[in-house]
Amino acid sequence: MFERLLVANRGEIAVRVIRTAREMGITTIAVYSDADRDAMHVRYADEAYNLPGTSARGSYLNTERILEIIERTGTQAVHPGYGFFSENTDFARAIESTGVVFVGPPPEAIEVMGDKISSRIAATAAGVAGVPGTTEVLQSADEIVAFGEQYGWPVAIKAAYGGGGRGMRVVNSAADAAEALASAQREALASFGRDECYLERYLTWPRHVEMQIIGDAHDNLLWLGERDCSCQRRHQKLIEESPAPDFPDEVRVQMGEAAVKVARACGYRNAGTVEFLYQDGQFYFLEMNTRLQVEHPITEAITGLDLVELQLRVAAGEPLPLSQDQIVRTGHAIEIRLNAEDPSGGRFIPSPGPIVRFDRADGPGVRTDAGYEAGDTISQYYDNLIAKLIVWAPDRERAIAKAIRALRETKLEGVTTTIPADLAILEHPDFHAVEHSTKWVEDRLDLSTLTAAPTTGTSESPSVPTEVVAEVNGKRVAVKLYLPEMTQVTPTRPNPTRSEVPTPRSARAQGGKPSAASGSGTVTVPMQGTVVKISVEVGQEVSVGDTVIVLEAMKMENSILAERSGTVSEIRVKPGDTVGTGDVVAVIA
């Protein structure tokens, strides 16, 4: 077993990996951006090193700097977590070229399965049928139109090198094709560093069921169990459960065996997830995620296995400690993602800002995996996942009841969260009756009257670099400290670095009412973010609901709309500008 592990990620997953590594006696090394200088994963690690910059592309996706840190620290293995570099073939090869272990599949497997297009080809060759789709990178909107006319609308554009719903757009008609493609490519590039996309038929009422697999270097490849991840918005998961409800055992076995076939087809080892769409008793291969999944804790809950520990042991060359017939699944587990989003009216608007209170739920069968504590700040630059609430009970109904109880015990203040929407899902008769699908939250769940609790955060002065002179072991040295402009010393722990002070409010991103001030010609933004596109020009006539700008916040694109009809008289921003909550971006006369 290696002794020094670098975790090339941040937030909840970095903390999760560090905890297991610590139990195994492994020294952990964290990396952090300028915005994450005092983040929870930094405080938990044994050592931490800076990745200069704030955006993901400028910091956590900086291969050269990470390689420098690996050499400097004597790192023996790198765990990529999920997102960022976890499914990046070039990064995995760069790590292994230095003689360091990449805790994940071989680069060749990532190349086949991390690319969603080649994974479809490999699955077909292995005899596992997928959803009808393309196997070439999209070059123009004309290809989308042709595909839609052949298979019927809507169709789905998907990022070839990503997951988690990033870079996915549903296209309902030929008229929407060009803009949807451009938007998907922008989001994919921002999230994964590559913008290639492909097409799939969009099924009418499917459930998203995925199979956890793990393999070692000794030709052992196992399926551990499935997870139902059908409760989604913006094609990103909100609630997951295992085992999948109303799911015949014979289908479970067939899906598990199909997942192993797909994994064997690419010489897979370590942890991975094969995703399927399930509809009318049939399942279709969707893609393979060549990494640990966000929802892996519910598989741990029903199997009693620590997947991160298995990952580390497999990466160190050890054989898996069990066979397929030794895997025992017991009870029912549910995971709820606690995201910094305002779900009011069903709009799910990003809600970055400082957390002023975070009381976790407790009790038998309750687990919280968090990347933040009270006093930390949710940055606009990264994913909005604050924590995951995981519950286990002997059966599904008791697991649902426990999840509701634990959610009501959880107190998160300072930012608006998805907890009200999570409760609406768990308490709905459709969810209990297993009548939901991947489209249920957005198409049938009525959240129009949902109002999230207002934030109670207070503004803080931003931290700034301050040069001070110190004496270390008798030697006089100049050091740089990051201190608030108006210093307030907290006796328990240092104040987090602040690069922004947003206090977001409900606003329209997709569906619902426009986000500008009611009836005003002054178009403002409801959150901090980066302008990625200007959709109008001075002198242009616009109507209520027309997109004025597209704002990227927390790795999601949000359309900021006109609240009144008129003529655009002024545009105050340009692509690439960073704006804050309430900033005026345009004026309509």
User: 325-343 pLDDT, tens per residue?
Assistant: 999 999 999 999 999 999 9
Comparing 91 with 135, the larger pLDDT belongs to: 91
pLDDT of residue 513: 40
Question: Residue 34 pLDDT > 90, yes or no?
Answer: yes
In this prediction, residue 482 has a pLDDT band, given cuts at 50, 70 and 90, of low
In this prediction, residue 517 has a pLDDT band, given cuts at 50, 70 and 90, of very low
Question: Residue 74 pLDDT > 90, yes or no?
Answer: yes
Mean pLDDT within 93-121? 93
Least confident span in 25-29, 184-188, 455-459, 476-480? 455-459
Question: Residue 191 pLDDT > 80, yes or no?
Answer: yes
CA separation for the pair 376, 40 (Å, rounded) = 8
Residue 233 has phi, psi (to 5 degrees) of -140, 145
For the chain, what percent of residues have pLDDT higher than 70?
90
In this prediction, residue 492 has a pLDDT band, given cuts at 50, 70 and 90, of very low
| Angle between helical axes of 11-23 and 307-315 (0-180°, round to 10) | 70
pLDDT of residue 558: 84
pLDDT of residue 142: 97
pLDDT of residue 190: 85
Question: Residue 458 pLDDT > 70, yes or no?
Answer: no
Question: Residue 239 pLDDT > 70, yes or no?
Answer: yes
User: For residue 535, with 0-12 CB atoms within 10 Å meaning exposed, 13-18 middle and 19 or more buried, which class applies?
Assistant: middle
Residue 526 has phi, psi (to 5 degrees) of -90, 0
Question: Residue 544 pLDDT > 50, yes or no?
Answer: yes
In this prediction, residue 576 has a pLDDT band, given cuts at 50, 70 and 90, of confident
Mean pLDDT within 60-80? 97
pLDDT of residue 155: 96
What 3-state class would DSSP assign to 539?
Answer: coil
Mean pLDDT within 254-270? 97
For the chain, what percent of residues have pLDDT higher than 90?
77
Question: Residue 16 pLDDT > 90, yes or no?
Answer: yes
Comparing 589 with 301, the larger pLDDT belongs to: 301
pLDDT of residue 192: 85
Mean pLDDT comparison of 255-259, 342-346, 493-497, highest-scoring range: 255-259
Comparing 311 with 132, the larger pLDDT belongs to: 311
Mean pLDDT within 98-123? 92
**List of domains in the chain:** 4-103 (3.40.50.20), 132-201 (3.30.1490.20), 207-443 (3.30.470.20), 522-588 (2.40.50.100)
In this prediction, residue 179 has a pLDDT band, given cuts at 50, 70 and 90, of very high
CA separation for the pair 515, 506 (Å, rounded) = 8
Least confident span in 13-27, 99-113, 456-470? 456-470
Alpha-carbon distance values, 123 to 126, 130, 222, 281, 282 (Å): 5, 8, 17, 20, 16
pLDDT of residue 502: 31
One-character DSSP codes across 223-238: EEEEEEEEEEETTEEE
In this prediction, residue 499 has a pLDDT band, given cuts at 50, 70 and 90, of very low
Question: Residue 495 pLDDT > 60, yes or no?
Answer: no
pLDDT of residue 409: 98
Question: Residue 491 pLDDT > 60, yes or no?
Answer: no
In this prediction, residue 395 has a pLDDT band, given cuts at 50, 70 and 90, of very high
Between β-strands 197-201 and 236-242, what pairing exists: parallel, antiparallel or unpaired?
unpaired
530 touches 552 (CB < 8 A):
yes
Mean pLDDT comparison of 90-94, 279-283, 493-497, highest-scoring range: 90-94
